[in-house]
Chains A and B, each alone.
Chain A
């Protein structure tokens, strides 16, 4: 069974600095999708970024980028120029094509210090 592990329950960063959240996963599949979701205090789950495993290029969305290491089964999220609005719980998630569900990690709570 696929599993997703986020080993950092909490992280903090100074405003305007860069922070990296870690995620590792276990799968025997070669084709799959990986995601980072953000959950602010409003509780809404917001898709931040997605990565297709067949793409070697790392996905980027504005200040958010990933470091996808397929052989190491690692999928870290880098947030550049951290802003107060980035404070949230971040979830890493995995899905294989045709599967019915997303498999989520335990989450990392990110605090931004002004």
Chain B
């Protein structure tokens, strides 16, 4: 089983719909992140959380919200999806003293 699991793997939704992307991890890491990948732009940080009571905005948080339900669970919501939110979304984890992050398999979201 993957250490960082994202659901769903693929999703097509309509403009204006609310959608939630879920992430769970078994690595025991305290830090969790949501990144967005767009062609030619690499990955950009949406939100991050250092523990259940800590939520922080990244560089592109507008239009998104998150919830850290437990140390192992971090979900990303699009309250009202729009077509330019079509992208590949990654959840990642890291431990406090570590520099690198470990990624899930990504969720490809298409907003039509």
Residues of A within 8 A of B (CB): 4, 9, 33, 35, 37, 42-47, 50, 52, 91, 95, 97, 100-102, 104-107
Task: State how many residues of chain B have any CB contact under 8 Å with chain A.
Answer: 23
Residues of B within 8 A of A (CB): 33, 40-45, 48, 56, 58-59, 88, 90, 92, 99-106, 108
Known: A91-B43, A104-B42. A47 touches B58 (CB 8 A): no
| Contacts across chains A and B counted by CB atoms under 8 Å | 53
Known: A43-B106, A47-B102, A95-B99. A100 touches B56 (CB 8 A): yes
- Taking a contact as CB atoms closer than 8 A, the residue among A4, A33, A46, A100 that contacts B42 in the complex is A4
* Across-interface contacts of A91 in B (CB, < 8 A): 42-43
Beyond A35-B100, A44-B104, A47-B102, list 7 extra A-B contacts (CB 8 Å).
Answer: A44-B103, A45-B43, A91-B42, A91-B43, A100-B45, A101-B48, A102-B45
A35–B92 alpha-carbon span in the complex (Å): 15
